[in-house]
Amino acid sequence: MTSLPGSQEATAAWELLLPAAAAPARARGRALQSALREAVRTGRLPPRTRLPSSRDLARDLGVSRGLVTEAYEQLTAEGYLRSGRGAGTWVSDAVRAAAPPVRDLSPRRAADSRVDFVAGRPDLSLFPRAAWSAAQRAVLAELPHEELGYPDPRGLPRLRTALAELLTRRRGVVADPERIVVCSGVTQAVTLLGFVLHARGEHTVGVEDPGSPQYEALFATAGPRVARLPLDDEGLALDPLRASGVRAVVTTPGHHFPSGIAYSARRRARLLAWARETDGLIVEDDYDGDFRYDRAPVGALQGLDPDHVAYTGSVSKSLVPGLRLGWLVVPGHLADKVVARKQYMDLGNPSLDQAVLARFIERGDHDRQLRRCQRAYKERRDALLRALDEHLPGTRVSGIAAGLHAIATLPECHGPEDRLLARCAAAGVTVRPLGAYGSAGGGGVSLVLGYAHLSPARIREGVRLLADAARSTAPGR
Ligand SMILES: Cc1ncc(COP(=O)(O)O)c(C=O)c1O
């Protein structure tokens, strides 16, 4: 194939078409078209590349000339190719090669990883299929036709009422149904707030460091940059917060992600005082607020000052993340703007799923599900603690009072972190260091160990593999 002046050379791209030419006769025409389309899409045939005449290409590929003419005509009609009288056929300028695949940022995972201590994943097999399916059947039978139109962008009134009751009762949230916006998880709640804050001139939003890596990307889509703000033993440190000049900050005060500490009462009060003084906004991500093992859950910060705290949570931990259902309880002065954003973004969440969740909550199924998960996850947490005690004595474990993960700080004698992670991957156990989530405190190797999705037997196996890997990295080995 030759190129028009100024175009790049296409290197024997017709070789890409040979497999298509070898396709069974009936499928050969379509195969040729797909292969040619793919060669253009992926950039193997760059824009302005001149294609051989149909006669030459048919001869090179050993197919009939009619098939090639047909392929050229079809792709010309679709806009991939262009042709001109006497000028032949060439690749259209309008085509842009598809972007290369997104780089996989997940941690090094052994191909045959037997145990993955990924944090924040609930046990998907605990999804209450029977109760959910009963609620689905009932909703399909009873939902009036008019509720199948575009929903209220804030969410179905029935679901907002059920959520208001649930959040007030379980989390101490001041939850007026008029201020609740049903959304696609905490992820969308944070994104919506990002857009609204940016529109009112907040170009930077504070996030916890260490913290959830996803906020930075979410805010990048919405506009604001992020300022990483350090924590101390009691929660977000106030001096760096003040010095940063931000007027909005995302926090996980009930169970900081990933360290697992609960903000102290004193720090909660000082944070609220900061918000009042600066007329700022605290975004409270209550991502796993339902799971507390040693005493009743710490009530939501939002309950203390609903005008300065936007509260968000979802069913991603209590049911499954695949439902993509969550909520945002938004201060009155931001409510209209958030709802308008939500409306432009997707016209609201699917009505049927919302109605099913409403019924699921109303009939007590959600409370039952929480009790069931709470029992299972406490048992797994205890299995993790026992296994660490047995196989890695001297390990300091923190953040265990709540949530779905714990932090294990291995004794100093266990060698460098890099080597440990590589040995773990080779042994078939996937672990992530605390440092992967931002600045980590010094002193030993700290690992974030998610346990909720693993059976006690898998947890024991994983800790045993981790202990073997740790021993093999010890100085002198
Ligand atoms: C701290 C934190 N917040 C929010 C989320 C996302 O939650 P959702 O599925 O509700 O969007 C996660 C995900 O695991 C998380 O770890």
In ligand 1, which atom is closest to the CA atom of 187? Answer: 11
pTM over 0.75: yes
Q: Are 58 and 67 in contact (CB under 8 A)?
A: yes
The share of the chain scoring above pLDDT 70, in percent, equals 92
Mean pLDDT rounded to a whole number for the chain: 91
Letter for the amino acid at 108? R
Q: Residue 444's closest CA among 384, 390, 394, 391?
A: 394
Interaxial angle between packed helices 351-362 and 157-171, expressed in degrees from 0 to 180 and rounded to the nearest 10 = 40
Is residue 105 very low, low, confident or very high in pLDDT (cuts 50, 70, 90)? Answer: very low
Which residue of 212, 255, 453 sits with most ligand 1 atoms within 8 Å of its CB, as the best mutation to test the pocket?
Answer: 212
Q: Residue 298's closest CA among 355, 329, 252, 236?
A: 252
- pLDDT, tens only, 108-140: 555 566 899 999 999 999 999 999 999 999 999
Q: Are 463 and 388 in contact (CB under 8 A)?
A: yes
Residue 425: alpha-carbon gap to chain centroid:
23
With a cut of 60, say whether residue 371 has pLDDT above it: yes
> What is the distance between the terminal CA atoms of the chain, rounded to a whole angstrom?
59
Q: Are 163 and 361 in contact (CB under 8 A)?
A: yes
> What is the CA(186)–ligand 1 centre distance, in A?
6
Letter for the amino acid at 215? Y
- pLDDT, tens only, 295-353: 777 899 999 999 999 999 999 999 999 999 999 999 999 999 999 999 999 999 999 99
Structure tokens at 410: 């291995």
With a cut of 70, say whether residue 391 has pLDDT above it: yes
> What is the CA(138)–ligand 1 centre distance, in A?
30
- pLDDT, tens only, 431-474: 999 999 987 666 678 999 999 999 999 999 999 999 999 988 87
CA distances from 432 to 85, 301, 381, 400 (A): 62, 29, 17, 17
Which residue of 124, 192, 219, 287 sits with most ligand 1 atoms within 8 Å of its CB, as the best mutation to test the pocket?
Answer: 287
Per-residue confidence (pLDDT) for residue 112, from 0 to 100: 63
In ligand 1, which atom is closest to the CA atom of 252? Answer: 1
- pLDDT, tens only, 315-325: 999 999 999 99
> What is the CA(187)–ligand 1 centre distance, in A?
6
> What is the CA(82)–ligand 1 centre distance, in A?
48
Q: Which residues line ligand 1 (CB under 6 A)?
A: 120, 185-187, 212, 252, 257, 285, 287, 314, 316, 321, 326
- 274: helix, strand or coil: helix
In ligand 1, which atom is closest to the CA atom of 120? Answer: 14
Per-residue confidence (pLDDT) for residue 244, from 0 to 100: 97
Mean pLDDT for 50-76 is 93
For ligand 1, atom 13, name the residue with the nearest CA: 120
Which residue of 182, 186, 315 sits with most ligand 1 atoms within 8 Å of its CB, as the best mutation to test the pocket?
Answer: 186
**Residue 399 contacts by C-beta under 8 Å, 6 or more apart in sequence?**
255, 256, 258, 259, 260, 261, 405, 406, 407
Residue 37: alpha-carbon gap to chain centroid:
33
With a cut of 50, say whether residue 165 has pLDDT above it: yes
With a cut of 90, say whether residue 202 has pLDDT above it: yes
- 270: helix, strand or coil: helix
Per-residue confidence (pLDDT) for residue 473, from 0 to 100: 83
With a cut of 80, say whether residue 1 has pLDDT above it: no
